[in-house]
């Protein structure tokens, strides 16, 4: 099994790759490849899109590599290979992002990425640190996690899917904030599995075993 972690200049690649490599032994030696080559992405068995920074900057990074978005769409939408978007990588699955200016997303999961709004002035933006997941459904990505797994966040914007069925988990931070979305062979986590210690490694292991 080949896992393509997309390198487009906007991801926490070292930590993400190490976390996946750590779990690959449990999954028959999955081969983890950090790549920006469209042919390697198109042929991958699983695709991971990390993202750190602004929505617009990350979308520009993807668009700047000739053929990369087309390769992603071929692997994920046409071949139906499992996909995991992390942080801004999850946000890019949306229709549009409203960070600074309006930017078009991949439109894989219809919805809008908006600023987190908090009325409690003691709560700072960005939402940074550990928080308990509140699951909206029983999805295989959450197998073997405790009822309120603690995971790590760093973000100022969150994804509001158009369809409530695409909302997999939330956290409370002055309001209900999206923590994970998904449909079909697509999963997105606003939290960072690679920084979430045991809970995050469980999520990665579940993704590697997942057969949508």
Positions annotated as catalytic residues are 87, 192, 194
3-class secondary-structure state, position 134: strand
Structure tokens, 211 = 């057969």
Inter-axis angle of helices 13-24 and 197-209, nearest 10: 70
Closest alpha carbon to 23 in 1, 55, 40, 56: 1
Task: Look at the block and give the residue holding tokens 């923590």.
Answer: 179
Residue 114: Cβ within 10 Å count = 16
Structure tokens, 173 = 């931070």
The answer to whether the peptide bond before residue 35 is cis (omega within 30 degrees of 0) is: no
- Residue count (the chain): 212
Structure tokens, 105 = 């997303």
- Rounded CA-CA distance 199/174 in Å is 23
CB within 8 A of 65, min separation 6: which ones? 8, 36, 38
């Amino acid at each position: 099994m080949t896992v393509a972690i997309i390198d487009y200049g906007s991801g926490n690649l070292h930590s993400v790759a190490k976390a996946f490599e750590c779990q690959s032994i449990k999954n028959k030696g999955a081969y983890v490849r950090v790549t920006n080559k469209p042919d390697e992405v198109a042929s991958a068995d699983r695709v991971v899109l990390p993202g750190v920074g602004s929505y617009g900057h990350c979308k520009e990074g993807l668009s700047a590599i000739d053929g990369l978005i087309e390769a992603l769409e071929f692997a994920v939408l046409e071949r139906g290979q499992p996909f995991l978007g992390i942080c801004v990588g999850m946000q890019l699955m949306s229709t549009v992002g409203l960070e600074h200016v309006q930017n078009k997303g991949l439109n894989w999961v219809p919805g809008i990425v908006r600023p987190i709004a908090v009325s409690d002035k003691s709560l700072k933006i960005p939402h940074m640190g550990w928080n308990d997941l509140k699951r909206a459904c029983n999805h295989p990505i959450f197998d073997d996690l405790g009822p309120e797994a603690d995971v790590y966040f760093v973000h100022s914007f969150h994804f509001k899917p158009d369809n409530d069925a695409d909302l997999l988990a939330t956290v409370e931070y002055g309001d209900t904030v999206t923590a994970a979305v998904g449909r079909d062979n697509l999963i997105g986590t606003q939290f960072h599995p690679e920084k979430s210690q045991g809970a995050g490694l469980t999520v990665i292991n579940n993704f590697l075993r997942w057969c949508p």
